[in-house]
Amino acid sequence: MKAIDVQSQPLLSFAKTLRIALSGVKYRLFRAMVTVAVISVAMAFLMNILAESLIKKTVADNAQEQIADMRRTDRWIARLSIPQTTGELVEQAASDDTDALTNLKALGQLSDDQAGQLHALSRRALTYLHFFADLDYGRRRVLVGSAESTFIFDRLQEKAAQDQFFQRLSEMKTVRFAGEEADFRAFLTEWPVLRDLTARIRAGQAAAIEAIRGQLQDRSLADALRDAGGAFGDVIRDAGFALDADEAARLTEQVGAVADTAIIDASINDPAMRQAVAARRDIMPGDVTPTVVWNMLRDNNEAAWYLERLIENKFGAADLTATEIAARADSRAHAFLLKQAERATVETGGGLMGIGKRMTWLAFVSMLVCAVGIANAMLMSVTERFREIATLKCLGALDGFIMTVFLIEASILGLVGGIAGTFIGLLIALLRMLAMFKGLLLDAIPLGSLLIASGLSIVIGILLAAVSAVYPSLRAARLAPMEAMRIE
């Protein structure tokens, strides 16, 4: 009997397979455009919420930093007026700021070993404090009663209280404790040591505050801090508080700005000044509001005119310049934008890439709808191409080749739709964020994160199209040639 020599099935190269897939897209351009539109809408929605969340997060971080910097004077007045709470000291001691830890060590007259112990115990305490702070009021009430902050550790000093705490915690199936039970019990035995160390620091702060009060000479702290870069800065350092030259300079500048702003705010309520501004702006005196005046002062010429009126009406503005007044007006407008940004980003975070749980679910639903649309379009494409599939199979095309062609077609559509949708979504996000944050946006565009998000969006578009086309492609590949040829 003659041996049968079965030759290997010839395979087309990827380049030729790609050309066949492109031809399929070209001859069914309208249906392909519909599929691309579906993918573009889904990817535009995804990219929009990703870009907005990333920008909002960056704006929120920048705004918080700048707002904290603007409150430097308030922090120093509080620091020089009353000792910090135990919780505040724990948070400060837990940080990696060596200068702050050195200052706490000096105020409490601690040894090197005690300072190290303070830092280590504070880090452990902060972990547990964050756990209790994240609990809602009802659950925290069940676990530790009315105790808050570090008073929780005082409440849990007794073994019976600890046993009751862990018993109630075990009944809360959705709450995960920050660590092991044995570690927390061990920390509670060391809590009195940390409490005593912070008490020594508080006593040192109280003594330093009393020494500073004796040097005020009937001045308020706010007035005295205008000389933070001079003699009063030395008083603060001699008392035991750390105040470097850069911090003193910024503090002096900010206190001066606050004083200048107070002069202008006081002048706005003066009848003569209101009348002068009304005549200058050609409005009624009753329409002269702080917003009107401060917006006017952002112009250097208007600031120079207003300075002349301040001096004429003896508002104590002899040391001011028009440039400083305009700068104060710009700072006030910037502060207003920061507060708006803080309110607009209060719920930022959570969910996928910080877009929030609600938006994460909306994005998931949009992807699901997109997948159904793609699958439907590909199934229709398979139905329309029964004769083409049968012809290819009669010519020797394998099931894998047929499936590969359809998957490549879907991936091409996913790529085009992903790019278009990503561009549209990013553009919409930038325009919306520009309208919301105005000048703050220029300092808060996370280019690196946006590029990563854009790439992710495009990849998701390709994968979504490819995965959605698996079933239609599989159906096309399994189609029997004779069955397909009989279909009219």
Q: What single DSSP character describes residue 353? A: G
| pLDDT category of residue 7 using cuts at 50, 70 and 90 | low
Are 106 and 114 a contacting pair, CB within 8 Å? Answer: no
pLDDT digits (tens, 9 = 90+) for 18-31: 777 777 666 666 67
Are 142 and 168 a contacting pair, CB within 8 Å? Answer: yes
| pLDDT category of residue 11 using cuts at 50, 70 and 90 | low
Percent over 70 (pLDDT), the chain: 89
Are 129 and 150 a contacting pair, CB within 8 Å? Answer: yes
pLDDT of 13 higher than 80 = no
Cα atoms in the 13 Å half-sphere on the side-chain side of 54: 20
Are 473 and 410 a contacting pair, CB within 8 Å? Answer: yes
Structure tokens at 259: 């004083």
Contact residues for 415 (Cβ-Cβ < 8 A; gap 6+): 458, 461, 462
CB atoms under 10 Å from CB of 349, counted, come to: 14
Are 118 and 196 a contacting pair, CB within 8 Å? Answer: no
Contact residues for 297 (Cβ-Cβ < 8 A; gap 6+): 264, 303, 306, 325, 326, 328, 329
Are 55 and 446 a contacting pair, CB within 8 Å? Answer: yes
The stretch 175-200 carries a mean pLDDT of 92
Task: Report residue 242: phi and psi, to 5°.
Answer: -80, 125
pLDDT digits (tens, 9 = 90+) for 227-255: 888 888 888 888 888 888 888 888 888 88
User: From CA 274, how far away is CA 225, in angstroms rounded?
Assistant: 31
Structure tokens at 35: 């599929």
Query: Among residues 90, 83, 146, 17, which one has the least CA distance to residue 406?
Result: 17
User: From CA 328, how far away is CA 134, in angstroms rounded?
Assistant: 39
The model scores a pTM over 0.75 = no
Cα atoms in the 13 Å half-sphere on the side-chain side of 116: 3
pLDDT of 478 higher than 60 = yes
Contact residues for 59 (Cβ-Cβ < 8 A; gap 6+): 341, 345, 433, 437, 440, 441, 444
For the chain, how many helices (H) and strands (E)?
Answer: 23, 0
User: From CA 301, how far away is CA 388, in angstroms rounded?
Assistant: 78
Top mean pLDDT of 113-127, 221-235, 448-462, 467-481 is at 113-127
Structure tokens at 86: 């135990």
Q: Where are the domains of the chain?
A: 14-66+349-486, 83-217, 251-344
Structure tokens at 215: 């040097």
Query: Among residues 467, 461, 406, 417, which one has the least CA distance to residue 22?
Result: 406
Q: Alpha-carbon torsion 174, 180, 186, 187, what sign?
A: negative
Are 58 and 448 a contacting pair, CB within 8 Å? Answer: no
User: From CA 483, how far away is CA 487, in angstroms rounded?
Assistant: 7
Structure tokens at 363: 């994005």
> Could you please report the per-residue DSSP string of 420-469?
HHHHHHHHHHHHHHHHHHGGGGGG---HHHHHHHHHHHHHHHHHHHHHHT
pLDDT of 191 higher than 70 = yes
Among all chains, which residue has been given the structure tokens 């990696």? Answer: 96
At residue 322, the pLDDT reads: 87
Q: Alpha-carbon torsion 463, 468, 471, 472, what sign?
A: negative
Are 293 and 268 a contacting pair, CB within 8 Å? Answer: yes
